[in-house]
């Protein structure tokens, strides 16, 4: 086999996204033929060189797996959990190593994709590809049209970071209980971004559910259920670049 960059090999093996694999290399967590490699751009021959990560030999996955999960509240999306909390990987009983694509916080439910295809992870998580994510948000208080305009144009979070334009619409307003339901579509992936956006307009999030990734939704999946993505769905996510 032709020599390829180490980070690409690791990503193709389903270890993580290419960016995360680069971090593993820089952190000295990858061994090639028994020696620690920390130089990005190092090339290897998968048919000849032995690559070790986490004390296990790494090999390229022949079969690519793509799974859509309707994540319940109370599950974390980390592959390793040191505090004994339930993990999304506990819900998917297959004999293949897969990783979550991006993250949903413990108290957010909804669409989450898991795969062993590192290049696919990179496409869905890299900002330049701008994959849309749609959230249904229940907030405390009555949202105004001005709030919607503000969220749509961008609000400041995280020490002044201005969010990119979003699609926002009101789904329902409960005047009696002073609760509003809105839908927000973004193509960024900042940590807890939807919650912070709502905080920026003075509204507390009571419930948060990611209903869609790209054009793929979880309306036919009960919480905790999962299914394989078909080839058409996978291609649609790869092609969705604004």
pLDDT at 17 over 80: no
Give the Å distances, CA to CA, from 67 to 95, 97, 114, 182, 233: 13, 12, 5, 27, 11
pLDDT at 35 over 90: yes
Radius of gyration of the chain (CA): 20
Fold of 4-57: 3.10.290
Render pLDDT for 138-196 as a digit per residue (tens, 0 to 9). 999 999 999 999 999 999 998 889 999 999 999 999 999 999 999 999 988 788 999 99
Domain ranges, ordered by start, for the chain: 4-57, 66-128+216-239, 132-213
Fold of 66-128+216-239: Alpha-Beta Plaits (3.30.70)
Tokens of 88: 């999304």
Residue 61: what pLDDT?
A: 65
Highest mean pLDDT among 5-14, 18-27, 119-128, 148-157: 148-157
Residue 240: what pLDDT?
A: 59
Render pLDDT for 89-103 as a digit per residue (tens, 0 to 9). 999 988 888 889 888
Residue 66: what pLDDT?
A: 95
The percent of residues above 90 in pLDDT, for the chain, comes to: 62
pLDDT at 242 over 70: no
Residue 110: what pLDDT?
A: 97
Render pLDDT for 61-85 as a digit per residue (tens, 0 to 9). 668 899 999 999 999 987 666 677 8
Is pTM beyond 0.75? Reply is yes
Q: Show which residues are catalytic.
A: 105
Fold of 132-213: Alpha-Beta Plaits (3.30.70)
Give the Å distances, CA to CA, from 9 to 17, 26, 90, 115: 11, 15, 27, 16
Residue 208: what pLDDT?
A: 98
Question: Is the fold of 4-57 the same as that of 66-128+216-239?
Answer: no
pLDDT at 216 over 70: yes
Considering only residues 51 and 128, tell me which one the structure prediction assigns the higher pLDDT: 51
């Amino acid at each position: 086999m032709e020599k390829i960059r180490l980070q690409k090999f690791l990503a193709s093996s389903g270890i993580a996204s290419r960016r995360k694999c680069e971090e593993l290399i820089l952190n000295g967590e990858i061994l090639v033929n028994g020696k620690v490699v920390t130089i990005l751009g190092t090339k290897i021959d998968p048919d000849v060189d032995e690559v070790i990560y986490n004390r296990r030999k790494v090999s390229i996955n022949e079969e690519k797996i793509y799974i859509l999960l309707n994540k319940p509240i109370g599950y974390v999306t980390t592959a390793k959990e040191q505090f004994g909390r339930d993990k999304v990987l506990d819900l998917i009983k297959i004999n293949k190593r897969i990783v979550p694509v991006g993250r949903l916080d413990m108290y957010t439910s909804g669409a989450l994709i898991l795969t062993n295809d590192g290049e696919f992870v990179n496409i869905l998580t890299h900002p330049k590809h701008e994959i849309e994510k749609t959230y249904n948000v229940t907030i405390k208080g009555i949202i105004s049209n001005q709030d919607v305009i503000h969220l749509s144009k961008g609000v400041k979070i995280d020490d002044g970071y201005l969010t990119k334009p979003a699609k926002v619409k009101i789904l329902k307003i409960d005047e009696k209980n002073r609760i509003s339901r809105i839908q927000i579509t973004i193509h960024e992936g900042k940590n807890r971004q939807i919650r912070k956006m709502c905080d920026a307009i003075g509204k507390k999030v009571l419930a948060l559910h990611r209903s869609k990734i790209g054009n793929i939704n979880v309306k036919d999946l009960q919480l905790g259920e999962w299914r394989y993505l078909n080839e058409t769905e996978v291609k649609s996510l790869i092609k969705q670049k604004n």
